[in-house]
Amino acid sequence: MNIVFMGTPDFSVPALRALIDAGHHVQAVITQPDKPKGRGKEVQFTPVKQAAMEYNIPVYQPWKIKDEEFVGKLRLLNPEVIVVIAFGQILSGDILSIPKFGCINIHASLLPKYRGAAPIQWAVINGEKVSGVTTMYMDEGLDTGDMLDRIEILLDEKETGGSLHDKLSQAGAKLILETLEKIKNGTITKVPQDDLESSYAGMMDKQLGSIDFSMKAVEIERLIRGLNPWPSAYTNLNDKILKIWDADILDKNFNGESGEIEEVSDKGIIVKTGENALVIKNLQLEGKKRMDVADFLRGYSLNPGQKLG
C-alpha cells in the first residue's frame, strides 16, 4: 500500500521499519521539527527522521500540520492510508479525509482506557495487570475513533515505564501489519468505543515525580516504576534532589513520621510511608551517578531518624 507515515519518538520507529520490511511503499515521513537538546543545545534529528533517512524516504517537518499549504502537499501525495504513531500533533478533518483507507492510529493502550499522551506510564502507576496496543480509525476527537485490532501484553511484577514502552513499541509494529492486511482484504471490523469506559492518560510532568511519603508504599513503588526512566521519581535529602530508581515494599508499619528513615543497610534503606514501608534499592543523588544502596553508602552516611522529602 502507498503510505504516509507520521511519528516522532523512538516508540514510532519499529512500526516504520516493519512497514518498509513488509513491502509497503512509504511515500513520505512526517515528523516533528528538530529541536536543540543537551547542554550544547545541538539540534538533533527526531528518531523517526533518522530512520527515514536510512531508507532515503522524503521527510517533512511542519510546525503546524494543519497549515493549508502543507495539507495541499499531502493531497498531492494521495496516499492510500496514513499511519500515525506518537506523532505529536492533532490532525485536522481535511487531512483525515485525504487517504482512501483513512488514517490509522497505533495507540499504546487497550482503548477506550488510557486515551491521551502517556498511557504507558499511567498503566504502570495505576497498577494495571494487562496493557496493550490498539489500532483505530482516527477522527477529530482525542483517541476516540473506531477500534480495529488490539494485542494484549501482561505486565511483569517489576515492569517499568521504559520496559513496557519497548514491549508495546514492538507489539504495535506487528499489529499495524495485521490491520493493514485486513483493510486491504476488506475483512476489517470496526468497533465503536464506549465513552463510559474511557479514561484519560494526561501528559507526564516532572512535578508528578515528587514522592509524597504519606502515600501507601505500594503506590509509591508503582510511581517509581512508572516514571522510570522519565521523568523519574524523586525526593530531597539535605537540600539535594534524590532520585529513586528501584524500591521494594516492606509489609511492616513503623512509628514516627512519613518519610522518616527507619533502617539503613547494604540491602536497602527502609523508609516509613502512609501504609507499610518502602525499601529503597537503587538511587541517585543530585550530581552523582545512579547506584545500588551498598555503593551509595560507601560514600554517603545515612542514619535512622533522618527524613526524606
Cα angle value 7/225/161 (rounded, 5°): 10
Q: What domains lie within the chain, and their CATH numbers?
A: 2-201 (3.40.50.170), 208-299 (3.10.25.10)
Please identify every stretch of the chain with a pLDDT value under 70, giving residue numbers as ranges. none
pLDDT of residue 294: 97
pLDDT of residue 160: 98
pLDDT of residue 43: 85
Q: Provide the terminal-to-terminal Cα distance of the chain, rounded to the nearest Å.
A: 55
pTM over 0.85: yes
pLDDT of residue 41: 77
Phi and psi torsions of 117, nearest 5°: -85, -25
pLDDT of residue 71: 97
pLDDT of residue 36: 83
Determine the Cα–Cα distance for residues 119 and 201; give it in Å rounded to an integer: 5
Cβ pair 159, 75 in contact under 8 A: no
Cβ pair 124, 153 in contact under 8 A: no
